[in-house]
Amino acid sequence: MTAQEFAQALKDEKEGMLSSYFGRGESPAGTLLKNLGAPAADEKVLRDFLDGVLTDAFYTMLLGLDGETALGRSGQQAYKLSLSDGSVVSEGNGELSNSAYTVFYGEE
């Protein structure tokens, strides 16, 4: 798996989460949203808001893994991300950050 594929997998996960929230209440957050009974116009605003929040969260996590920002109180440091077979996805050299930006924001 490449850094680009890893970033894309996280974006796909984000999209799946949004679908579950605004689908049939398949998650606790989805159930809460369903119980709000918001009109369609408000639901669009909520979806856009949550999309932005999740994009910020996933993008920040990817930047943190690449050493571009601190994760929590751990301080700013790069992490080596590898698969169980030992192949390296990212070594904190900026590739993951660049891939994340491309995947989440559509440009490099």
Q: pTM for this structure?
A: 0.85
Q: What is the pLDDT of residue 6?
A: 95
Judged against a pLDDT cut of 70, whether residue 24 lies above it is answered with: no
Mean pLDDT computed over every residue of the chain: 89
**Exposed / middle / buried, residue 48 (Cβ in 10 Å: 0-12, 13-18, 19+):** exposed
pLDDT per residue over 51-65, tens digit each?
Answer: 999 999 999 999 999
